[in-house]
Amino acid sequence: MTLFCFDFAGCGKSEGEFISLGWHERDDVNVIVNYLREHRKVNTIGLWGRSMGAATALLHSNRDHSIAGMVLDSAFADLRQLVGELARTHTKVPGFLVSTALSLIRGSVSSRADFDIYNLKPIDKL
Residue pLDDT, tens place only, 3-55? 899 989 888 888 888 899 999 999 999 999 999 999 878 889 999 999 999 99
Residue pLDDT, tens place only, 106-121? 999 999 999 999 999 9
Given a cut of 90, whether residue 91 has pLDDT beyond it is yes
pTM: 0.88
pLDDT for 20? 94
d(CA 73, CA 99): 27
pLDDT for 10? 86
Q: Decide: residue 41, CB within 10 A, 0-12 exposed, 13-18 middle, 19+ buried.
A: exposed
